[in-house]
Structure 1
Amino acid sequence: MAPTTVNGTSNGTDRSHEVLHRTPSPAGGPAAPSRPADLEAARASLRLALPEPGSKFSQDDEFCVVAEPDGTWREYRFHDYDRIFGVPGLYEKIFYDVLGCDSPRFMVGLLSEALAAAGEAASALRVLDLGAGNGIMAEELAAVGVDYAVGVDILTEARDAALRDRPGLYADYRVADLTKLPAAEREALAGHRLNALTVVAALGFGDIPPAAFRTAYDHVDQDGWVVLTIKDAFLEATDTSGFGGMIGESIRSGALEVVRRERFQHRLATDSSPLLYEGIVARKRGPLAG
C-alpha cells in the first residue's frame, strides 16, 4: 500500500474533534527542563510515512516506515518500543509531532489542579513513574515542580533512552518486571518512600499487565496520589484484560478515591480518528480489588 509521507513536525491534521485540551501549570510555575539540542535536531531530521489514507488498523497493530540514512525505509510497529527507543527522537516524532499525543501534559494538568484543590505542593511528591519510557512524563512533572521521580520500565532500551534524552530527571531508574519482582528490587523501591504513582499511556495491550500495576500501586504510601490513563474499552463490562474489574471495583469500594476523571483524546490513530482514553487522578485509600 502507498504510504502518506510526513515531514517536519506536524502532519497538519485537523484536530477540531479533540475532547479536552488544557494547559497544565499555572502562570509563573516552574519552567520545563531544556532538552539536549541533539535530541531536538534528531527529531527534526527524521522522515516517516504512515499507511495510505483510508487504511485502518487496530491500535496494537499500527505502524509506520522511517527513512534510514542510506535512503531505504524500515517498518516500525508502534508497540516495538525497544526498536523505537533506539533511534533518538523517533518516539517523539511518531507519537507527538505526527499523531498529536497529549496524555502526559494533559494528566499533569489534572494532577496540578487536584494538588491545588487539596492544598498540597508538587514538590512534596515522590513519584513512581511506571512504564517510564524515555522520560516524557518525568519532564512534564518537573515542569510543575515535582523534583523526585523514580522510573520503572521493563525495557533496558527505555532506561538507556531516558538517560540519553532527558538526563537528570530521575532520582533512580529501575529496569524490572513487576510481575516477578526480586526482593532486592522491592527493597530498592521501598527505600524511595514513594507517595505517588503515574502510569500514563502504558496500561493494556500487554505492555503493563494488571499484576505489574498492582505491584507498583502497593509501593505507594497510603493516601498517596495515583495518576493513570487507560483506553476506555479496557474499563467496559466486556473487558477481558483484567483492568476493568480491578480499577472499576476499586473505585466503587473507595480503595481508589477519584478526585478527577475525564475522557480525553490520547492521540490520533494512523487514519486520523481519535483514540479516546480515560484520565483518572485518585487517592490511594486501600488495596486494589481482586
Structure 2
Amino acid sequence: MIENCSGIDVLKYAKAYAICSVSSSERERQSDEVFSAIVDGKNLHFSMHNYGEMYKIPNLYDAMMYGLLRCETPFALAREFGRILFEHRVDPSTLRMLEVGAGSGAFAEAVRLAMPIGRMVGLDIIEEARVAAERDRSGIYDGYIVADLCALSWEAEAEIASLSPNCVGVASATGWNNHIPVAGFERAFSVLEPGGWFIFHVKPNDPDPECVALLQWIEAKVKTSYIVDSKRGRIFHRMSVNGEKIYYDYVVGRKQWAS
C-alpha cells in the first residue's frame, strides 16, 4: 500500500470504478497505455494521458494513477525536496511555488503535507485540471492559472508576476508528446527568481523525442551553472499497465543568482 497524500481512498475508488488495465503487446509506448473503468454503469476505455476526459469524473485519475498503477512520484519528490531544503537550512514557509502541469493537485498536497510551504499556485493548460483540483482537493492551491506556458496571456503573466515565484516545481508533466515541451519549461524557468528552487524530473533512457530534448535541456542548465547546488536521484514513478516498473530521474537545484 503506497502513501496517500490526499485522504482520497484511491483503492476504494479503484474498486468502485472497477478499474482494469488494458494491456497489449502492440502498445510499446508509455503514451499508448489504456485502462477501463465502469462509469455510470458503462464500461469505458480511457487513454492514460487523456487528462481532460479523466478529470471530468471525480477521483478517477487518482484511482487509476495511485490505486491501479501505484504512482509514488508526488510523495517521493516532495519528501526529497523537503530533505534538500533542510540540508540548505531553507525555511519552506518563505517559498512561493508555481507548480507547472499541476493537474488535480496530488503533488501540491504532498508538498503541503511534507512542509509548511508559504504559497502555492498551480498552472495547467486545461480547464478540466483546475476544476478537478478544486473539486477533489479543495483549497490545496492559493490560486490556479489555466494557461499555455508557450503562449501566456497578459492576465496569466500578471498572476505569475504577482506570485513572484522563488520555487518552480513539476511532477509527472514531462515527455510523451502531450506534456509540457522544452519551450514551456524554459518559460517557467525564466519566471523563477534568481536563487529560487527548481524541481524537475523526466524518464531517462527513453526514445521519446520530448524526453530526449528535456534531458538535454536540464543537462545544459546544470553544466552551464544556470542551475547550481543541484542534487540528482532516481525514484520509482509507477507501474505500467503491463506490470513493468517505471523509474524517473529528478534534478533539484537553484537558479543561479544574478551577477
What's the TM-score, normalizing by structure 1? 0.80
Deviation for aligned residue 1:55? 6.9
**Is 1:156 aligned to residue 127 of structure 2?**
yes
Deviation for aligned residue 1:113? 0.7
Deviation for aligned residue 1:135? 0.7
Question: Which of 264, 275, 279 pairs up with 2:235?
Answer: 264
Map of 1:3 onto structure 2 = none
Deviation for aligned residue 1:286? 6.3
Map of 2:223 onto structure 1 = 252
Counterpart residue type for residue 218 of structure 1: S
| Bigger proportion of residues as helix | 2
Counterpart residue type for residue 78 of structure 1: M
- Retained in 2: the 8 A contact 1:55–1:271? no
Map of 2:84 onto structure 1 = 114
Once the two structures are superposed, residues 9-67 of structure 1 have per-residue CA deviations (whole angstroms, 9 ceiling, x without a partner) of x7xxxxxxxxxx9x9xxxxxxxx6756x8x99655522111125867531010011111
- Retained in 1: the 8 A contact 2:203–2:211? no
- Report the Cα distance in structure 1 between the residues aligned to 2:58 and 2:211, rounded to whole angstroms: 35
Question: Which of 138, 155, 159 pairs up with 1:167?
Answer: 138
- Report the Cα distance in structure 1 between the residues aligned to 2:7 and 2:211, rounded to whole angstroms: 41
Q: 1:117 to 1:240 in 2, by over 3 A?
A: closer
Query: What SS does the aligned partner of 1:191 have?
Result: helix
Query: What SS does the aligned partner of 2:236 have?
Result: strand
Map of 1:182 onto structure 2 = 153
Counterpart residue type for residue 228 of structure 1: F
**Is 1:218 aligned to residue 190 of structure 2?**
yes
Once the two structures are superposed, residues 103-149 of structure 1 have per-residue CA deviations (whole angstroms, 9 ceiling, x without a partner) of 11111111111100111111111000000000111101111211410
Identity %: 26
- Report the Cα distance in structure 1 between the residues aligned to 2:218 and 2:92, rounded to whole angstroms: 25
Map of 2:31 onto structure 1 = 60
- Report the Cα distance in structure 1 between the residues aligned to 2:175 and 2:16, rounded to whole angstroms: 31
- Retained in 2: the 8 A contact 1:233–1:239? no
- Report the Cα distance in structure 2 between the residues aligned to 1:280 and 1:160, rounded to whole angstroms: 29
Q: Give the unaligned 5+ runs of structure 1.
A: 1-9, 11-20, 24-31
Q: 1:86 to 1:194 in 2, by over 3 A?
A: same
Question: Which of 65, 73, 80 pairs up with 2:50?
Answer: 80
Question: Which of 225, 247, 250 pairs up with 1:276?
Answer: 247
Map of 2:202 onto structure 1 = 230
Q: Give the unaligned 5+ runs of structure 2.
A: none
What's the TM-score, normalizing by structure 2? 0.89
- Report the Cα distance in structure 1 between the residues aligned to 2:167 and 2:199, rounded to whole angstroms: 8
Counterpart residue type for residue 117 of structure 1: E
- More deviation, 54-63/162-171: 54-63
- Report the Cα distance in structure 2 between the residues aligned to 1:120 and 1:239, rounded to whole angstroms: 33
Map of 1:191 onto structure 2 = 162
- Report the Cα distance in structure 2 between the residues aligned to 1:157 and 1:126, rounded to whole angstroms: 24
Map of 1:242 onto structure 2 = 213
- More deviation, 45-54/251-260: 45-54
Map of 1:92 onto structure 2 = 62
Counterpart residue type for residue 247 of structure 1: I
Larger Rg: 1
Map of 2:181 onto structure 1 = 209
Aligned residues: 254
- Report the Cα distance in structure 2 between the residues aligned to 1:69 and 1:266, rounded to whole angstroms: 30
**Is 1:135 aligned to residue 132 of structure 2?**
no
Runs of 4+ in 1 over 6 A off after TM superposition: none
